[in-house]
Chain A
Amino acid sequence: MDISVAFLLELGLILVVLSVLGSWARRWTFSPVPLYLLTGLALGDGGFAQVPEAEEFVVVGASIGVVLLLLALGLEFSVAEFAASMRRHVPSAGVDALLNALPGAAAGWLLGLNGVGVLALAGATYISSSGIVARLLNDLRRLGNRETPAVLAVLVLEDFAMAAYLPPLAVLAAGGARWQAALGTLVAVVALAAAFTGSYRWGRQVSRAVVHPEAEQSMLRVLGLTLVVAALAEAVHVSAAVGAFLVGLTLTGEAADRARAVMEPLRDLFAAVFFVAIGLSVTLSAMLPLLPAAAALAAVTAATKIATGWYAASRDGVARRGRLRAGTVLMIRGEFSIIIVGLAASQDPRLVPLVSAYVLLLALTGPLLTRFFAGAPLPPRRDGRKTPGQPPADSRRARDR
């Protein structure tokens, strides 16, 4: 076996650069995603350095990255949490979809994209980055805040909307007819229903088939199963990403917890490779002319997301500052906007550079804005008794002691 020195060196250097950027981003509670994109951009054609040997691996790794990102999205999903979010936040989800997909669709129409391109751009502006937002809420110590359940509910419902949105988009982007797209959606919905009833009835058996006390065995089983289903989905033009998403949805309960734990390091590696690959596929000369359009779109959809968060948080009885916090944290778009345009990349050469610039802008400014609106730290507490506030509307009494 020949070992390519150049390949190992290039890949190693890329990972070192990513780790340095990643730790820097973490220190400033930024997301590393835009920095990974910038790294790819710097390495691509017309960038600072070239990586001819590692490029092939990065491109292959990117397809695994998409598969693992969507597997993780599916694994996050729980029926109970979905049902709880549905009960309170269906209107929020409606406001979210309407306010945020329409600007994307309008921008696509103004840019003269075809129907599938418009659909893809609408999806890219609609979906917030659940990964970045959830992490940011943790880093900014906002998990205990009263607006947080509303933010998380909006994210859960967006993720669920992806189950209905991705299959037809993937089929249409692959050049399928409308009836094929409808069929693709139907297949996805049937698979989803089958997966839910299956995991409800035979959850124990499914867990046993996938979960193994040894991490290595669990990892190989989950990865193998996911890649096979992804390949089958790709073969029938439903896209590997959608196949992996369905696998994630099928695994629930214990199996999902275990799969999440064993897949996390792999997902982090290949997701980073995926963002670098997207950056690589974009050239600066293609992105710069689209920067004004991306900035305008980012400004409009930042405002609409703030409105969405404002509305969702107000449904939970949260006051103004909390509503602003909810809105500004939701405005961050990230990995899924990129995945969506990745699916529809062949529709128009402007799509990927446009959305890359758009995600760069929002993923960089979003964390800054939301920290700004969190305001100064609270004043030191005064002594003496305080009047307790009312319990929030979304809570129920757990127990009397």
Chain B
Amino acid sequence: MDVNEVLLPGVGLRYEFVNEDGDRIGVVARRTGDFEVVLYGEGDPDEARPVFRLTGDEAETLSQILGAPRIAERFADLTREVPGLNAGQIEVLPGSPYAGRPLGDSRARTLTGASIVAVVRGEEVIASPGPERMLHAGDVLVAIGTAEGIIGVERLFQG
């Protein structure tokens, strides 16, 4: 999908894309951290029709709402195809013994049989992380394995 990006000097950036229904949607990302979502009309393609404005916090919440189910959904599709295979998300809490240490130190696969296939850090998704990948508090690990294996990983990271 194409997203166009336009610089707005002194204000920020504007992103633009066309959705499935043919609506041309614009998002103005302001330097202040606020966002404005607009829709371009059919009559005058130059004129943006305001839809809504979001503060930084509201935009963060919206992006979580829109972004979160997609990751879980994709793994759900995968695990449905293989009987007995489960996917789980485990958050690395600040008190976790592996916060601030490389993933390999946890020896998760050796101990539980479950694999950590991705690390979700804020908006970033690190796919197939290596053993040297550093973990931070707040990271979310995506693990695939048997149901027991995933519970094992959870226990391991709770310490």
Please give the residue numbers on chain A whose beta carbons come within 8 Å of chain B beta carbons, in ascending order: 76, 78, 81-82, 84-85, 130, 134, 137, 141-149, 152-153, 155-156, 257, 318-319, 321-322, 325, 374, 378-379, 381-382, 385-389, 391-392, 394-401
Contact = CB atoms under 8 A, between A and B. Distances in A.
A395 B9 contact: no
A84 B9 contact: yes
A78 B12 CA distance: 11
Nearest to B12: A143
A378 B47 contact: yes
Nearest to B50: A141
B124 interface: no
24 contacts: A76-B10, A81-B10, A143-B14, A144-B50, A145-B46, A146-B45, A146-B47, A147-B46, A148-B8, A149-B9, A155-B10, A156-B9, A318-B46, A321-B44, A321-B47, A381-B42, A385-B21, A388-B22, A392-B6, A395-B5, A396-B4, A396-B5, A399-B3, A401-B1
A321 B46 contact: yes
A275 to B, nearest CB: 22
Given A81-B9, A146-B45, A391-B2, 16 more contacts: A81-B10, A134-B11, A137-B11, A143-B8, A143-B30, A144-B50, A148-B11, A257-B31, A321-B44, A322-B46, A325-B47, A378-B43, A381-B39, A389-B40, A392-B6, A397-B5
A68 B44 CA distance: 40
Interface string B1-33: 111111111110011101001111010101100
A68 B39 CA distance: 37
Contact of B6 (A78, A156, A395): A395
B99 interface: no
Interface in B108-143: none
Given A143-B28, A144-B26, A152 B9 contact: yes
Contacts of B18: 388
Nearest to B45: A389
Contact of A388 (B10, B24, B41, B43): B24
B91 interface: no
A318 B6 CA distance: 14
B96 to A, nearest CB: 28
B59 interface: no
A262 to B, nearest CB: 14
Contacts of A144: 14, 26, 28, 36, 38, 40, 48, 50
Given A145-B47, A147-B46, A319-B44, A394 B6 contact: yes
A76 B11 CA distance: 10
A67 to B, nearest CB: 21
B49 interface: yes
Contacts of A400: 1-2
A303 B43 CA distance: 27
A379 B43 contact: yes
